């Protein structure tokens, strides 16, 4: 068997794939954060908890109602998005006029409450969620074995990310969103219902987190802490990409997943910290982030 | 003088005014900026608000548009009281707003800027009609909005509200910082809009420009309307006006 840079290709490509999968979750989650931050100026700290809710809703759908993975992939984001809409209308709306730090604190508190409720009900050891029958097994590509489900995660998140990018950058609705992000007062003065857009945008960002949660359910066990572990890394990704940049969130998410995977191959000791080291370097050189506009 | 301004020209008060502003007050945070603005605008009129910097002209437009967070008094448009409405509902009554800073979005292309404001009334200009008025815009549709020159941005800011069917326009210093040839073009546009029956409130520092387009001038000072001058009587009142404007 041949080797690349002294590393067996199975190990190398295996880690690249793992990196791409982590990157898929980074990308979807940081995209949701970026969309929410753009319009609401709130750093949505409950994003990880909402990702976890997506996984739990999929698990509940299957366990209690017999609703399969594919239906849950559609249903869970809608349900989690609806809870997001309720949160925006009942809570975030009331603090929209004060310092945005309160939004961060509020969503942080919400995350603790949501996680606590799920831990109380389901414990913290994790619940199994089967890979859907259609995506079990895999294919041998010669240089590596590709499990179908892992390939699907990368493809599905790429599709969702690109569709979101297209929606925001290329459609009329996206133009409304960008306009409301840049100058909400004037956009409102043209007769556009900005408060409604704020509500729907929060719901959409949260639904993205729920979607990522469903994708994650068969890979990681469904666990009340699954979001809390991930979200810290995602915040680092957002800082590196630049707060509020749509394309930046997507590109940075996937790239940093890859970087993390490659670090696991070449210098495993640093794999857990490499993203934070990059974050520090980016903050020193380009405080607005790689894709961010200087404020 | 105030009462004279209120009761004066038969043509404006005999017909029901399109816009009636009474006792309009507004605040920026704690700072009280408008102290009771009163004036009328008749259908089809072009009226200017003249006054020194900080007199409250821009704030008056913002208060009519509903973008000031704290305001009271009364603003009625065609009989509808708007003081309690959010600005999006005021826009839907058929008001088009061109803010002082022009409000061209950097994150939108020229075309997206042009197409952004939703139609609020039937009878807006078609894109072809807008391109006839402002040929420069057509050449630059794919550019980023803020890559346009100042004059082109002003034309875009006016063009995009003409699309919406709004027949009552609030123009805040449309000539500010522009070259004379562009000012002429904007003046010609305003006269054409007047011919087509639009009602316009124009905020201006430059009363020589204002005199070429307006029917009447309201003088604003320290958050109040202190005088009204018919455009025809502008020459006779030129010394008084110089006194007001401190020029």
- What is the tens place of the pLDDT at every residue in A31-84? 999 999 888 888 899 999 999 999 999 999 999 999 999 999 999 999 999 999
Angle at A209 between CA A205 and CA A211, to 5 degrees: 110
User: How far B29 CA lies from chain A's nearest CA (Å)?
Assistant: 12
Cβ-nearest to B105 among A182, A191, A193? A182
What confidence score (pLDDT) does residue B116 get? 94
Write the ipTM: 0.88
Nearest residue to B42 via CA among B200, B209, B163: B200
pLDDT at res. B162: 94
In angstroms, the CA A246 to CA A178 distance is: 11
Cα A110 to Cα A108: distance, rounded to the nearest angstrom:
5
- Distances in Å between the Cα of A281 and the Cα atoms of A260, A268, A276, B231, B247 are 16, 20, 9, 64, 56
Question: Is the separation of the CB atoms in B72 and B53 below 8 Å?
Answer: no
Distance from CA of A183 to the nearest CA of B (A): 8
> Per-residue confidence at B5, pLDDT binned at 50, 70, 90?
very low
In angstroms, the CA B134 to CA A118 distance is 60
Q: Are B142 and B110 in contact (CB under 8 A)?
A: yes
- Interface contact A191-B92, CB threshold 8 A: yes
Rounded to an integer, the average pLDDT of B22-29 is 93
For residue B152, the SS3 value is helix
Cβ-defined contact of A188 to B67 (cutoff 8 Å): yes
The token pair that represents B237 in the structure block: 């009142």
CA-to-CA distance for A102 and A92, rounded, in angstroms? 9
Asked which of B92-96, B120-124, B161-165 is least confident by mean pLDDT, the reply is B120-124
Mutate to test the interface with A, among B70, B97, B105, B171 (most CBs of A within 10 A): B105
pLDDT score for B202: 95
| Closest residue by Cα to residue A127 from A218, A2, A17, A249 | A218
Residue B11 has pLDDT above 50, yes or no: no
> How many other CB atoms sit within 10 Å of the CB of residue A25?
25
Handedness of CA B127, B133, B134, B135 (dihedral sign): positive
Q: What is the pLDDT of residue A3?
A: 62
Give residue A5's pLDDT. 66
Written in H, E and C, the secondary structure of chain A is CCCECCECHHHHHHHHHHHHHHHHHHHHHHHHHHHHHHHHCCCCCCHHHHHHHHHHHHHHHHHHHCCCHHHHHHHHHHHHHHHHHHHHHHCHHHHCCCCCHHHHHHHHHHHHHHHHHHHHHHCCCCECCCCCHHHCCEEECCCCEEEHHHHHHHHHHHHHHHHHHHHHHHCHHHHHHHHHHHCHHHHHHCCCCHHHHHHHHHHHHHHHHHHHHHHHCCCCCECCCHHHHHHHHHHHHHHHHCCCCHHHHHHHHHHHHHHHHHHHHHCHHHCCCHHHHHHHHHHHHCCCCCCCCCC
All residues at 6 or more sequence positions from B53 whose CB lies less than 8 Å from its CB, including other chains: B205
Q: What does the pLDDT read at residue A269? A: 86
**Considering chain B, what percentage of its residues have pLDDT values greater than 70?**
94
* Structural domains in chain A (count): 1
DSSP 3-state assignment of B173? coil
Rounded CA-CA distance B47/A60 in Å is: 65
Q: Residue B159: is it exposed, middle or buried by C-beta count within 10 angstroms (0-12/13-18/19+)?
A: buried
> How far apart are alpha carbons B144 and B149 in whole angstroms?
11
Can you tell me the mean pLDDT for B123-141? Answer: 90
- Looking at the partner chain, which of A182, A185, A190 has a beta carbon nearest the beta carbon of B118? A190
**Residue B7 reports pLDDT greater than 50:** no
Task: Give the pLDDT confidence of B148-183 residue by residue, as tens digits.
Answer: 999 999 999 999 999 999 999 999 999 988 999 999
Burial class for B142, CB neighbours closer than 10 Å (0-12, 13-18, 19+): exposed
Interface contacts A/B by beta carbons within 8 Å? 64
Q: Compute the distance between CA of residue A100 and CA of residue A97 in angstroms, rounded to an integer.
A: 8
* Nearest partner of B81 among B39, B27, B21, B171, judged by Cα: B21
Render pLDDT for A4-45 as a digit per residue (tens, 0 to 9): 667 777 778 888 888 999 999 999 999 999 999 888 888 899
Contact residues on chain B for A187, CB-CB shorter than 8 A: 116
Q: What is the pLDDT of residues B204-243, one digit of tens each?
A: 888 888 899 999 999 999 999 999 999 988 888 888 888 8
pLDDT of residue B14 exceeding 70, the answer is no
Are the CB atoms for A177 and A201 separated by under 8 Å?
yes
Mean pLDDT of B172-200: 92
Q: How far is A89 from chain B (nearest CA, A)?
A: 18
How does pLDDT run across A185-217, given as a tens digit for each residue? 999 999 999 999 999 999 999 999 999 999 999
Asked if residue B12 has pLDDT above 50, the reply is no
On whether residue A293 sits in a domain, the answer given is no
Specify the range with the lowest mean pLDDT, choosing from A234-243, B104-113, B154-163. A234-243
Model pLDDT for residues A152-178, shown as the tens digit of each residue: 999 999 999 999 999 999 999 999 999
Neighbouring C-beta atoms of residue B31, cutoff 10 Å: 7
pLDDT score of B98 more than 60: yes
Q: What's the mean pLDDT in B40-62?
A: 93
**Do the Cβ atoms of A186 and B92 come within 8 Å?**
no
pLDDT at A294: 56
Q: Give me the residues paired with residue B22 across strands.
A: B74
Q: Which residues lie closer than 8 Å to B156 by C-beta, 6 or more apart?
A: B102, B104, B110, B113, B114, B134, B137, B145, B148
For chain A, the residue count is 295
With an 8 Å Cβ cutoff, are B91 and A193 in contact?
Answer: no
Considering the domain B2-94+167-245 in this protein, what is its CATH number? 3.40.50.300
User: For A3-7, A121-125, B190-194, which range has the lowest pLDDT when averaged over its residues?
Assistant: A3-7
Q: Is residue B13 predicted with pLDDT exceeding 50? A: no
Phi, psi of B50 (to 5 degrees): -105, 155
Left, alpha or beta for A15 (phi > 0: left; psi -120 to 50: alpha)?
alpha
B145 in Cβ contact with B109 (< 8 Å)? yes
Q: What is the DSSP letter of B146?
A: G
Cα separation, B205 vs B161, in Å, equals 22
Q: Which residues contact B139 (CB under 8 A, 6 or more apart)?
A: none
User: What predicted TM-score, i.e. pTM, was given to this entire model?
Assistant: 0.87
In this prediction, residues A98-109 reach a mean pLDDT of 90
Name the E strands within B167-234.
Answer: 168-172, 199-204, 216-221, 224-230
Containing domain of residue A190, as a range? 15-226
Give per-residue burial for B35-62: e unless 16+ CB within 10 Å, then b.
eebbbbbbbbbbbbbbbbeebbbbbbbb
Residues of A in contact with B107 (CB under 8 A): 178-179, 181-182
User: What pLDDT, on the 0 to 100 scale, is given for residue B247?
Assistant: 67
Minimal-distance CA residue of chain A relative to B102: A186
**Residue B120 distance to chain A (closest CA, Å):** 8
Domain boundaries in chain B? 2-94+167-245
Q: Do B103 and A191 touch (CB under 8 A)?
A: no
pLDDT at B134 over 50: yes
- Mean pLDDT across A241-262: 88
pLDDT score for B246: 80
Mean pLDDT of chain B: 89
pLDDT above 90 covers what percent of chain B? 68
Q: Do A182 and B67 touch (CB under 8 A)?
A: no
């Amino acid at each position: 068997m041949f080797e690349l840079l002294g590393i067996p290709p199975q190990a190398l490509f295996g880690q690249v794939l793992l990196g791409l999968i982590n990157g898929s979750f980074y990308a979807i989650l940081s995209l949701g954060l970026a969309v929410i931050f753009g319009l609401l100026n709130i750093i949505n700290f409950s994003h990880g908890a909402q990702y976890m809710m997506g996984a739990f809703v999929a698990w509940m759908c299957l366990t209690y109602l017999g609703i399969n993975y594919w239906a849950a992939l559609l249903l869970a984001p809608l349900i989690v998005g609806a809870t997001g809409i309720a949160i925006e209308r009942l809570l975030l709306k009331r603090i929209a006029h004060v310092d945005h730090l309160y939004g961060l604190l509020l969503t942080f508190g919400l995350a603790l409450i949501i996680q606590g409720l799920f831990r109380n009900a389901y414990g913290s050891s994790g619940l199994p969620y089967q890979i859907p029958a259609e995506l079990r097994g895999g294919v041998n590509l010669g240089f590596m074995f590709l499990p179908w489900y892992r390939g699907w995660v990368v493809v599905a998140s790429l599709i969702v990310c690109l569709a979101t990018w297209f929606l925001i950058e290329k459609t009329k609705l996206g133009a409304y969103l960008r306009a409301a992000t840049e100058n909400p007062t004037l956009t409102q003065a043209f007769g556009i219902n900005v408060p409604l857009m704020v509500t729907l945008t929060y719901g959409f960002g949260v639904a993205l987190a729920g979607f990522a949660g469903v994708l994650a359910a068969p890979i990681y066990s469904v666990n009340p802490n699954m979001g809390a572990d991930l979200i810290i890394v995602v915040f680092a990704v957002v800082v590196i990409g630049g707060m509020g940049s749509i394309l930046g969130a997507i590109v940075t998410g996937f790239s940093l997943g890859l970087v993390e995977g490659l670090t696991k191959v070449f210098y495993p000791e640093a794999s857990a910290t490499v993203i934070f080291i990059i974050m520090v370097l980016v903050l020193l050189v380009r405080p607005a982030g790689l894709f961010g506009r200087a404020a | 003088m105030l009462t004279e301004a209120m009761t004066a020209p038969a043509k404006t008060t005999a017909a029901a005014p399109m816009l009636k502003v009474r006792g309009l007050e507004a605040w920026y945070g704690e700072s009280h900026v408008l102290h009771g603005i009163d004036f009328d605008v008749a259908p089809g009129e072009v009226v200017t608000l003249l006054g020194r910097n900080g007199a409250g002209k821009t704030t008056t437009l913002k208060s009519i548009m509903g973008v000031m967070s704290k305001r009271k008094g009364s603003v009625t448009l065609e009989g509808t009281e708007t003081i309690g409405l959010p600005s999006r509902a005021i826009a839907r009554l058929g008001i088009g707003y061109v803010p002082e800073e022009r409000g061209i979005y950097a994150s939108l292309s020229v075309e997206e800027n042009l197409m952004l404001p939703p139609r609020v009334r039937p009878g807006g200009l078609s894109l072809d009609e807008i391109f006839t008025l402002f040929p420069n815009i057509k050449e630059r549709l794919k550019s980023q909005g803020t890559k346009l020159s100042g004059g082109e941005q002003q034309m875009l800011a006016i063009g995009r509200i003409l699309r919406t069917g709004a027949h009552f326009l609030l123009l805040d210093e449309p000539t500010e910082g522009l070259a004379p040839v562009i000012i002429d073009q904007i003046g010609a546009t305003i006269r054409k809009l007047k011919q087509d029956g639009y009602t316009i409130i124009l905020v201006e520092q430059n009363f020589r420009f204002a005199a070429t387009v307006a029917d009447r001038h309201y003088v604003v000072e320290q958050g109040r309307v202190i005088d009204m001058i018919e455009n025809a009587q502008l020459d006779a009142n030129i010394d008084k006006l110089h006194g007001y404007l401190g020029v």
